[in-house]
Amino acid sequence: MKMFSVAHKTVFVVDHCPYMAESSRQQVECDVLTKSRAQGVIPLAPVSKSLWTCAVECSMEYCRILYDIYPKDKLVNYIVSDSEFHILNSWRREDQSTHELMSALAAVGPPNPREDPECCSILHGLVAAVESLCKITELQHERRTALMDTAERVANRGRIICLTNAKSDTHVRMLEDCIQETILDQNKMAAGSDRLMSIQQCELVLVHIYPQGEDTLVSDRPKKEISPLLTSEVHSVRAGRHLATKLNILVQQHFDLTSTTITNIPMKEEQHANTSANYDVELLHHRDAHLEFFKSGDLHMAGTSTRENGLKETVTLKWCTPRTNTIELHYCTGAYRISPTDVNSRPSSCLTNFLLNGRSVLLEQPRKSGSKVISHMLSSHGGEIFLHVLNSNRSTLEDPPSISEGCGGRVTDYRITDFGEFMRENRLTPVSESTHDPSGKLPAERAKAQLERHTRYWPMIISQTTIFNMQAVVPLANLIVKETLTEEDVLTCQKTVYNLVDMERKNDPLPISTVGSRGKGPKRDEQYRIMWNELETLVKTHAGATDRHQRVLDCIIACRSKPPEEEERKKRGRKREEREDRTEKNGNKETDDKSWQESERLKGLLDKEDQESEVIKDSPDSPEPLNKKPRLTTEEVQPPERAKGPVSLLTMWTNRITAANSRKHQEFVGRASSVNNKFELYQHLKDENGMDVHENGKASR
């Protein structure tokens, strides 16, 4: 069955009454050669277009864009209304061209301002538009003939665009009522005729045109349903460029079009043939050409911008220097006809001629950093220009990657086993029609709801989750996705939470992935913080289902709020771990270097002292050396701490040097009487102030 949309038929009804000959009051400068004009030459006065001229130009631009992008299946019927209606073309394909319409409009001529306004009305054209919608097009006839017995299934819909100068809102409502009555009358006639089709849906777009500088008497109104057969919308627009912009927006809305702006197009200047400048050209095409941008959310990367009217958006793509090899084939996922927005501008004309000469242009997404991504290509086929969508992702023609290798070779730790279990839990099975669900939902709806609950939070990669790698969390993860929970389910979830609290108290390790991180990974306290955050995220996605789901979330929040002494203990543990890590990283190397340097220095001093002692003893003129008092007991010498495990050569040499030096001098009294290598100074001052000084150096009153 072929369903024809409203866009299949479009009827333009343009007012040709005397008031349309009024000036639009938008001046057009004719004297553009002001610099080269000789003295004494009177400059040309500016001119202004009439409302009729503005309406014809804008409607023809609407038709030009439509014919460029949809040359076959979108049809236009053009009607002019004054004292009677004038149908300028038919639904036949040979009449669907701007050349035919311009020739017919030239024959009609401009409105006659001296004609009696009472004899002219836009109603003549609107009635003829409804009658025209009932006529069968060639495409509809082909479909009706193919369907034969089911010909009534072919829909007949259409759109009427009326360009007029309405008097008031009451006048607009009168026009809508007239169209509604005409549709009903024509449907009755079509029911008894094989050459006519009843209208299932009609859209009326009424554009009220008024001169610049005047206040509008008709207010804008969005689309409104007048009846099941008729919808209506009203646009009040100033003549001139405002009307052109409005119809440009309407043609995009009516035929699902969008805009792309090609930037940085190099063009040689006319005045300076050796220099070039960069220009921009805006193109219209079907919105499916940007479908990949919408899917991936990369519209911001493609340079989406809203223009001054605030109603249209354009996607910016950058020109790439074309290659000389035109035989090169590109993997395209779609091709869409284009139409320049400003067809008469020099940049648009140069780009069009460049492409029609057999050249192709690659277009890239503008990026601030990274490699460029070529996403589209402009090329012509059979005299028509197409925007080709290039596949910037992995080609479907290549061999698919193994799931263990990862998509594109980037991710390799997929939760393959968990995904298999997930598929088993969400399998669809046939169900009999007699099966009745108390909630009244269909089986398909229940299956979709279950799938939605199970996928609210389901990380695909092992390294992106902690709780799904823990066996302790499995009971809670399986129960929280249920539509309803029993009291026993709530107790099981709470028991799981308490087990996690007990694991944190015991400081048990967690299965935290360290892929891509240096060192040991996060601290134990940080690991549990990550785990609690993820668990809370999982439960929050289901907390709004029932009150029992909320009770599970409340339990998690309550267990996360630790008492102050627990927080203080955690803080001390973190400081101790940080201190140990710093000692492990820096202490070993620095201690070894300092010990070796100190041992070398002490060895040199020891050898020097031995040599000096021998010289003094052998010299007869030298006095006796001072006898240093040796230590009487060996208890005063603190033996070095015995290292665990085998003793290194450095430690043995250091101990030997230290023992030798300790026998050659009298120990410093402060070091000898110190406690933990600490000695309190100025003890006599505290004695004078009445302080009691103990042997360990600590004073107390």
The 10s digit of each residue's pLDDT in 550-561 is: 999 999 988 877
Share of the chain above pLDDT 70, in %: 72
What is the model's pLDDT at position 434?
63
Count of beta carbons in the 10 Å neighbourhood of residue 157: 18
User: How far from chain centre, in Å, is Cα 540?
Assistant: 25
Give whole-number Cα distances, 67 to 71, 76, 205, 248, in Å. 5, 9, 20, 14
Residue spans of the chain under pLDDT 50:
1, 300-302, 307-311, 324, 408-409, 516, 589, 612-643, 693-701
> Of the candidates 477, 503, 345, 340, which has an alpha carbon nearest to the alpha carbon of residue 422?
477
| Cβ–Cβ < 8 Å for 86, 15 | no
DSSP string, 145-157: HHHGGGGGGS--E
Percent helix, strand and coil across the chain, each to the nearest 5 = 45, 20, 40
Q: Which segments of 338-393 are extended strands (E)?
A: 339-340, 361-365, 373-381, 384-390
Q: Where are the domains of the chain?
A: 9-28+45-255, 258-390, 447-514+523-563
> Of the candidates 467, 481, 450, 546, which has an alpha carbon nearest to the alpha carbon of residue 511?
467
Dist. CA 129–CA 135, nearest whole Å: 10
At 649-661, the pLDDT tens digits run: 888 889 888 888 8
What is the model's pLDDT at position 530?
87
Q: Which CATH number fits domain 9-28+45-255: 3.40.50, 3.10.100, 3.30.70, 2.40.128?
A: 3.40.50
Domain covering 258-390: architecture:
Beta Barrel (2.40)
The b/e string for 286-296 (b: 16+ C-beta within 10 A; e otherwise) is: beebbebbeee
